[in-house]
Structure 1
Amino acid sequence: MSRGDPVILIVEDEFLLRLDSAETIGNAGFEVVQAANADEAIAILKSRPDIRVVFTDIQMPGSMDGLKLARFVRDRWPPIKIIATSGRVVAGDNDLPAGSLFLPKPYRGAELVAALRGLTGTAN
């Protein structure tokens, strides 16, 4: 990977899902950073100004769920794009900040990669 690859932060409390997503995203040419919950994600965001997209699960334990994290990220780091996912909750247009995407679980790796490429403006 080159240093110019867009950096994607995955926020997912289920370890195997996070690992699988990280592999899919990494194989597509993105740099991947992982967090198990919103608190970890915020700590990473504070130290990594190069993150372009936050890919977050909606249902997570901890101080905030993925929807609250999405709003926090938009307020604090407006340029960062957001993709939210869930197998139990369906996020409507009013649930996520403007310009965010919702990807229902189970999603295919190709769907996730296509969404990331669209948000980052990167080609195949």
Structure 2
Amino acid sequence: MDQPAATARPLALVVEDETVIRMETADLLADAGFEVLEAWNVVTALRQFERRSGIDLLVTDVQMPGGRDGFALAREVAARWPGVAIVVISGVSAPGLRDLPSEARFIPKPFSARVVLETVQEMTRDAGGAPQIA
């Protein structure tokens, strides 16, 4: 008897140096139907993109260790992996005119789970990436 093909879940990468916030954000996206990868800085995030094809969504904090921030990561991802939905979150740094790629979204901290999920759903709807949220 043939088994139905498994539906691939959209793939998200959460980049945050604060472990608890990273885990909570990853859990939020997993509960919404995403497969979630995690990274704690820009270098590990870029390694994830280089090693794993098909990342649909990047959710990143701005301030991280290592000399490069989430704004730089967002710009590099937009340039190297077009089509990835990008959400940048920060409680300290608001984006300047040239900080974010034009298609990226910014969410200030503190944020609600609902705002993140609605933003992600809106950004990935056309690409078929995000599951519907209740």
TM over 0.5: yes
Q: Does 1:34 align with 2:44?
A: no
Aligned-partner SS, 1:55: strand
Which amino acid in the other structure matches residue 24 of structure 2?
D
Distance 2:82 2:31 in 1: 27
Shift of 1:63: 3.8
User: Alignment partner for residue 7 of structure 1, among 11, 19, 36?
Assistant: 11
Maintained 8 Å contact 1:10/1:32: yes
Deviation (angstroms), 1:55: 0.4
Would you say 1:112 and 2:119 are equivalent positions? no
- Structure index of larger Rg: 2
* Equivalent residue for 1:103, pick from 104, 107, 111: 107
The answer to whether the Cα contact below 8 Å between 2:72 and 2:99 also exists between their aligned partners in 1 is no
Residue of structure 1 in register with 2:98 after alignment:
94
Q: Percent identity?
A: 37
Runs of 4+ off more than 6 Å: none
TM-score normalised to structure 2 length = 0.86
Are 1:21 and 2:25 matched, yes or no?
yes
Deviation at 1:92?
3.9
Please give the root-mean-square deviation of Cα atoms over the aligned residues, in Å: 1.3
Residue 54 (1) aligns with residue 58 (2): yes
Aligned positions, number: 123
Q: What amino acid maps onto 1:40 in structure 2?
A: T
Q: Does 1:43 align with 2:47?
A: yes
Cα shift readout 1:12-36 (whole Å, capped 9, x = no counterpart): 0000000111111111111111000
| Deviation of the 1:93 alpha carbon | 4.8
SS at match of 2:106: strand
CA distance in 2, matches of 1:44, 1:36: 11
